[in-house]
Structure 1
Amino acid sequence: MPAQTSSARGVSLQGRAATGRYAYRAKATRPQAPDHAERAKLAQALGIHRQVLSHATAAIRTLTAARNELMAQAIEDGLTIATVSAVTGENMKSVRTIALAYDDLHPSGLPRSTQVAALKQKSGELRTAERHRDQITERRGALMVIALRNQVCDDLELASLTGLTPDHIRRATRGIARPA
């Protein structure tokens, strides 16, 4: 019995090609489905990194506000902008802007050495928190690369897991060799 074909689409109904020849497809490679356990493990790791990054960012905001208040108080108490700039590592324009933002401060009467020590300590804590945030961001980037290389997640899934936009994911993983 000849193969029945649909004349409208030229499609075989019995597994034969429209030209009458059989198309053998057993050797066609199919992309491996991502392992469900691997995807769950990666999703959990990205979720943890998202939460830890959120905490680190909140800590940086808190430390920045405290350091800025110390800077403004030191300027109000008579320390020069150059001294505060040298102690904190901020440029003089930023120090001046921060000092002008706090207009309701009164002289505290603390000695210069105490203010300088407090500024050094708070600036050191802030730099440590920023390094910690950078490490978390690097680890998150490494997890994104692993997910894309192993085809565990696509850009949209990674965006939802990390809280980033799909465009940011594409830019961050540009140049990463992805299996076809």
Structure 2
Amino acid sequence: MPALYGSFRGPSATGRYTYRGKAPVAREDRAPATSEHDKLIQSLAAHKQLLSQATSAIRALTAARNEMIAQALEDGLSVATISAVTRENMRAVRTIGLAYGDLHPSGLSRSAHLEALKAKSADLHTAEEHRGRIEERREALIAMALRSRACDDIELASLTGLTPDHIRKATRRIRRPG
């Protein structure tokens, strides 16, 4: 067996990966807009995190509201009433009700269901507006990065979690210098 191991020579004899890429560019060798570039990167990363949190909150609120809709249907509220309170179309309310087939009557009053649905729908609407504001700020940061040439499409895509094609399509109307 020692002959097998002796036949491997060089840095990869251990079987580990050896990085052979270029050395990273020193901070001093970068373009003069490094501070602006760093600020944009930090802002885009923060907005990506905020957007992720907002989307998660919307998902949780939607699930809770959908369960409330199904329970209200099980307790005898009409599709039209629930649709009016939640601002969902009647087809969506019916579909939500059908998704929860194993519910039992809760015994809550009609007014209790309506108040809970109103409150949860308002919370959901507020969360969606918040996510919209975050997306608007992200689009403004993307536009600023492209105008100042701090980042290119590929780098912006990686920082925002969007595809490069989405970045290009969303920023076609933005004037790029040069």
**What TM-score does the superposition give when structure 1 sets the normalisation length?**
0.81
Mapping of 1:5-154 within 5 angstroms?
33-154=31-152
Q: Share of identical aligned residues, percent?
A: 66
The structure with higher relative contact order (CA 8 Å, sep 6+) is: 2
Q: Give the TM-score of the pair, scaled to structure 2.
A: 0.82
Change in Cα spacing, 1:34 to 1:73, as seen in structure 2 (3 Å) is: farther
Question: Contact 1:76–1:107 at 8 Å: present in 2 too?
Answer: yes
Answer with 1 or 2: which has the greater Rg: 1
Check 1:54–1:162 CA distance in 2 against 1; reply closer, same or farther (3 A cut): same
Please say if residues 71 and 98 of structure 1, whose CA atoms lie closer than 8 Å, have aligned partners that are also in contact: yes
What's 2:25 paired with? Answer: none
Aligned pairs, number: 148
Give the deviation of 1:34 after TM superposition. Answer: 5.0
Structure 1: how far apart are the matches of 2:155 and 2:32? 13
Name stretches of at least 5 consecutive residues in structure 2 with no aligned partner.
1-30
Q: Is the 8 A contact 1:34 1:151 kept in 2?
A: no
> What secondary structure does 1:78 align onto?
coil
Kindly report the root-mean-square deviation, in angstroms, between the aligned alpha carbons of the 2 structures. Answer: 0.6
What is the CA–CA distance in structure 1 between the aligned matches of 2:32 and 2:102, rounded to whole Å? 59
User: Greater helix percent: which structure?
Assistant: 2
Residues 86-107 of structure 1: CA deviation (Å, up to 9, x unaligned): 0000000000000000000000
Q: Does 1:159 align with 2:154?
A: no
Contact 1:85 1:95 in 2 (8 A): yes
Partners of 1:120 and 1:174 lie apart in 2 by 40
The Cα of 1:128 is off from its aligned counterpart by: 0.2
